[in-house]
Amino acid sequence: MSDAGSVGRVQPARPGDPARVGPYRVIGRLGSGGMGTVHAALDPAGQRVAVKVIHAAQAEDPEFRARFHREVVLSSRVCGPCLLPLLAADPDAAAPWLATEYAPGPTLNQHLAGHGPLAGGSLYAFATGTAQALAAIHQAGVVHRDMKPQNVILTPAGPKVLDFGIAHAADGTSVTRTGVMTGTPGWICPEHYRSGTAGPAGDMFVWGALVAYAATGRLPFGTGAPDVVAFRVMSQAPDLEGVPQGLRETLEKALAKEPDERLTATEAAEECSQLLASQATQVLSSEAAMESTLVGDLIGAEWDMPVLDDPTWHTPPARSRTRLYATVATAAVVVGGVTGAFLALMPAETGSTSGHKSPKSSQGRTTAPAPGSTGAPAAANKGDAKIKDDPLPAYTREGRGGEPRFEEWEAARGPAVTAEKGAASAIKDRTEALLADDGMTEATVDITYNHAAQTVFVTSDPQPLWGDSAHDTFLQNAEKAACQELSERLGLNPGGWSYGRYAIYWRELMTPATSDTIHVLGYGDAAGGCEGLEGREYSWQPDTEGLERAQTPSTSRDEIRVADETVNRLFSEWNGNSRLVNDPNYISHSDTSIGFDSFKSVMYVWARKPEWDQHTRSRWAEAAATVACDTITTEAGARKEWAYSQYAVAIRGSDGRATFLRWGSGSSCLE
């Protein structure tokens, strides 16, 4: 949120500013920019937050809303000591908004203008903290794309990187407008100037320029007209005069003109943390010494920024009694009219409640004749007395899902409120797109809700040319789309989203003289995530026999090389820059293995971590599946003799038994 201006006094609220945004009480302004206005606010416990409310012009643009909604979901995954966690958001509100922790202190620009360049330990702490922040962002699958000086706050506790307002998914699936240049002139990488696109390597180029600017107070590619600066960025060397030698070498690698020649954020964080440790102790001479040093503590120890306070936070401006009554009345109307819209985001490290069960999917079929009309709503299941039609209930039937009854489908209705409409649109669009990719271009689906059953139904429209062979294709794609959307909604808003159960129905087209027939193809519970659904082959599942075969030592040089490269990449993705081997989440060669089942052409990845809770297992499985899927796809493209086209990810418990969490084919990573 670059507009936050998190330094100095809070500006007074202006006429037309809201008294409240979601659960937050607005006490003033922190700034305003092209995308929105950032308000200083207090949560119900009195904690300070920064709330960005999107301008009306952007809010009226459906494409912007789609992008903003996706960025909210992506940003909720990102957390780290030098990042501001996303606390809450409502991308479906009339005026979309998001809230983060408040960061006291000047921006880098403001500090340089008032106090000059950073030096000594503060400079190395700045470089280390910002690189660690980018590493966390990239590991979550996000590209920042706007690492300018206004987006780094120098708080008393260390540098804080903010503003994911124009971040995009690293996999390229985010919603963008062709031909629009995002970013700020002078803080754009060469490839973005050339093609309008950039990935994590682009962030690293701008990071190099940012740290050079912090060290010298000079823009590394000078000033002037945007096209002149662009020419220098693409063709001339940066001005690094005055940057300390060790740090200069790191920045030169970050500022390479070609993306594949740059170091990664994790590598930059590692190099800068070593420089920081050397600055602090001047005696580090061994790997063991580095492992015993807590880099986070060093950032705090070497960082030198004054503690600033603003009395405005303690004396919020009084509002008239009339205005207060109007606010309360308005709030009552809003609560009744936008049921389910508020998305209370949980920090990425905690996520949903631990102990959630993996979604259960049944491919058994129940058939019933479709009636001529929906009739009266069906009663809720016996034993579901706790499920009420409250305006904003949490999803409560996890573990009590069971096969959906025909009466539940019959009583389902179309989406009624903003959040339901948004979820229905996302499920419908993704299902139809996936079906089209599989050749079912005529496919259309209907999304309905049964509030009492807390279930979303995805139903096919009848197609005379579709036979039983299309059932699995429809189930696989519809289940994937429904589970993904519901899982994200539950994770973002566990206390205010009602639907976690989904059911996939097939409508069979009969003759004009008979009624259509409805089949239940499958159902599941999204509350525990969607492990195993993404890219799952419905005709194949991993098994303990295959895992046992994968534990036989390999004699193939290619298999040994691939296993070594893959496990090291997984360590880097999961551990990041951490060297804290006593951290219960840390993985190493002692508890992580990769092996190959040549009989079924499967690469297995497994970890011996019986102490992990369900949430940690889910996060690890996602990371391991991404690495494994990318590995087998890359190897298949590089050599035709590569035999492995499928992967499986498992956790071994204290009894040695394996629980399979994710699996699929190499084609699933190409979606």
46 shares its domain with 195: no
158 shares its domain with 122: yes
97 shares its domain with 110: no
Q: Is residue 92 part of a domain?
A: yes
Predicted pLDDT of residue 45: 84
Domain-terminating residue out of 528, 563, 587: 528
98 shares its domain with 115: no
Residue 483 pLDDT greater than 80, yes or no: yes
291 shares its domain with 329: no
Q: Which of 90, 92, 146, 525 is catalytic?
A: 146
- When pLDDT is averaged across residues 140-163 and rounded to a whole number, the result is 86
586 shares its domain with 636: yes
Q: Which residue has the higher pLDDT, 91 or 127?
A: 127
**pLDDT single digits (tens) 322-344:** 222 222 222 222 222 222 222 33
556 shares its domain with 515: no
| H-type alpha helices, 217-292 | 226-235, 245-254, 265-281, 287-291
**pLDDT single digits (tens) 536-556:** 444 466 778 788 888 877 777
**pLDDT single digits (tens) 29-84:** 988 776 788 999 998 888 899 999 988 888 888 777 877 887 777 777 777 788 88
The helix/strand/coil state of 540 is coil
Q: Is residue 351 part of a domain?
A: no
110 shares its domain with 11: no
How many structural domains are present in the chain?
Answer: 4
Residues 550-586 as b or e (16 or more Cβ within 10 Å = b):
beeeeeeeebeebbeebbebbbbbbbbbebeeeeeee
Domain holding 322: CATH number? 3.30.200.20
CB 346 within 8 A of CB 88: no
Q: Is residue 89 part of a domain?
A: yes
Q: Is residue 352 part of a domain?
A: no
Domain holding 639: CATH number? 3.30.70
- Nearest C-alpha neighbor of 229 from the set 164, 167, 161, 183: 183
Look at the pTM and tell me if it is higher than 0.85: no
CB atoms within 10 A of CB 91: 24
148 shares its domain with 244: yes
Domain-terminating residue out of 498, 528, 558: 528
Cα distance between residue 624 and residue 606, in whole Å: 9
CB 198 within 8 A of CB 207: no
Residue 253: pLDDT band (50, 70, 90) is very high
Q: Is residue 94 part of a domain?
A: yes
Question: How many residues does this entry show for the chain?
Answer: 671
Domain-terminating residue out of 528, 552, 577: 528
CB 605 within 8 A of CB 620: no
Average pLDDT value over all residues in the chain: 74
Q: Is residue 344 part of a domain?
A: no
245 shares its domain with 132: yes
Domain holding 186: CATH number? 1.10.510.10
266 shares its domain with 206: yes
Residue 353 pLDDT greater than 50, yes or no: no
Has 146 been annotated as catalytic? yes
Q: Which residue has the higher pLDDT, 3 or 205?
A: 205
Residue 394 pLDDT greater than 90, yes or no: no
Q: Is residue 425 part of a domain?
A: yes
Cα distance between residue 632 and residue 601, in whole Å: 10
Cα distance between residue 41 and residue 213, in whole Å: 32
**pLDDT single digits (tens) 568-601:** 899 888 887 655 656 778 888 778 889 998 777 8
Predicted pLDDT of residue 12: 85
Cα distance between residue 316 and residue 306, in whole Å: 24
**pLDDT single digits (tens) 429-466:** 888 877 877 777 777 899 999 988 899 999 988 665 55
CA 281 to chain centre: 37
- When pLDDT is averaged across residues 241-261 and rounded to a whole number, the result is 95
Burial tier of 517 (Cβ tally within 10 Å: 0-12, 13-18, 19+): middle
Q: Is residue 534 part of a domain?
A: no
List the single range of 29-43, 362-376, 595-609, 622-636 with lowest mean pLDDT. 362-376
DSSP E strand boundaries for 62-110: 86-90, 97-101
Domain span at 263: 105-172+181-300
226 shares its domain with 250: yes
Residue 385: pLDDT band (50, 70, 90) is very low
